[in-house]
Amino acid sequence: MSLPQLEYCQARTVEEALELWAKKTKARYLAGGTDLLPQLRAASGTQLTLVDLKQIESLAKIGQAEDGAVSIGAAASVAAVAANATVRKRYPILSDCCLSLGSYPLRNRATVVGNICNASPCADTAAALLALDAIVVATSTKAKRRIPMVDFFQGPGESCLQAGELVEEILLPQATAGGRGHYGRIARRKSVDISTVAVLLSVLPKGQPRHRLSLLSVAPTPLRVFEAEAVLDERGPEGASQAAEIARASCTPISDVRASAEYRRDMVAVLTERGVMTLAQSMGG
């Protein structure tokens, strides 16, 4: 692999990372690097500084935060999040989505925060984080802000982060704990493959709405379908096909080498309905 001219720096604190970024003409934050390094191949020839976040102790944490929330630090690997006892107990749908990403070695390296910052329409963890009303905590030299997950994605590869802004952590609120879900994911093979289309339907024990429907790979960004959620809240499993139709209508997939737009739309409906039925069965049983 041929890379552009790289300068590599290790930051020890968040402040140092922000400063390093500001000092350099062109810098990128580096966590797992599983998205960043392949992207750098395309940037061949340009001068670039990588600011590595992995040595910042505070960012490696997965654990309790204020207000009963659970914090996922920017350097926490996808595998660590998937295996974390608190996550598995309180947010099992996040654990499920994590385990669909890449492969064992990739999950050991990749981070949940990186998966979000890459802002791919097929980011597996985004399906769960959207459903859980996660909060993205971003810091810059000027301020710290909390961005609701639903406002985070702007387009393919685009998030609402400002230049130099660093995501320190993602907060999983107490209010959405205890949900269960069905992650329907169609891909060409079972590992190291992005989804052709994926649908996460989850049900929370409390909160408004109780049903959460997230779609991947069928729009410029990961998507929540609030209208379908309302239907399911109101009608329960009987609203399955209506919700499926709403979901189908609300996505805007493209045709590419993996599948046609038409197939993706149809599968959004199929997987939505399947999610409703599976959850209804498991609750009844």
Candidates 6, 160, 175, 186: give the one binding another protein (CB under 8 A). 186
**192: contact with another protein by CB under 8 A:** yes
Name the residue nearer to another protein (CB basis): 58 or 191: 191
Q: Which residues between 86 and 105 bind another protein (CB under 8 A)?
A: 103
Q: How far is the CB of 48 from another protein (least distance, A)?
A: 15
Q: How far is the CB of 190 from another protein (least distance, A)?
A: 4
Candidates 36, 92, 274, 278: give the one binding another protein (CB under 8 A). 274
Q: How far is the CB of 43 from another protein (least distance, A)?
A: 14
Q: How far is the CB of 2 from another protein (least distance, A)?
A: 6
**189: contact with another protein by CB under 8 A:** yes
**266: contact with another protein by CB under 8 A:** yes
CA 208 vs CA 25, 68, 133, 176: distances in Å: 45, 18, 11, 10
Burial bucket for residue 89 (CB in 10 Å: 0-12, 13-18, 19+): exposed
* DSSP string across the chain: ----EEEEEE-SSHHHHHHHHHHSSSEEEESS-TTHHHHHHHTTTSEEEEEE-TT-GGGG-EEE-GGG-EEEETT-BHHHHHH-HHHHHH-HHHHHHHHTSS-HHHHHH-BHHHHHHTT-TT-HHHHHHHHTT-EEEEE-SS-EEEEEHHHHEEETTEESPPTT-EEEEEEE-GGGTT-EEEEEEE-SSSSS---SEEEEEEE-SSSSSSEEEEEESSSSS-EE-HHHHHHHHHHGGGGHHHHHHHHHHH------SS--HHHHHHHHHHHHHHHHHHHHHHHH-
d(CA 152, CA 168): 14
Candidates 47, 64, 252, 260: give the one binding another protein (CB under 8 A). 260
Candidates 13-21, 74-82, 190-198, 234-242: pick the segment binding another protein (CB under 8 A). 190-198
Candidates 107, 248, 258, 265: give the one binding another protein (CB under 8 A). 258
The encoded tokens of residue 239 equal 């609203």
Candidates 84-92, 131-139, 211-219, 255-263: pick the segment binding another protein (CB under 8 A). 255-263
**163: contact with another protein by CB under 8 A:** no
Name the residue nearer to another protein (CB basis): 2 or 25: 2
d(CA 140, CA 78): 24
**82: contact with another protein by CB under 8 A:** no
x/- map, 205-244, another protein, by CB under 8 A: ----------------------------------------
**259: contact with another protein by CB under 8 A:** yes
**191: contact with another protein by CB under 8 A:** yes
**25: contact with another protein by CB under 8 A:** no
Q: How far is the CB of 82 from another protein (least distance, A)?
A: 16
Binding positions for another protein, rule: CB under 8 A: 2, 103, 186, 188-193, 257-260, 263, 266-267, 270-271, 274
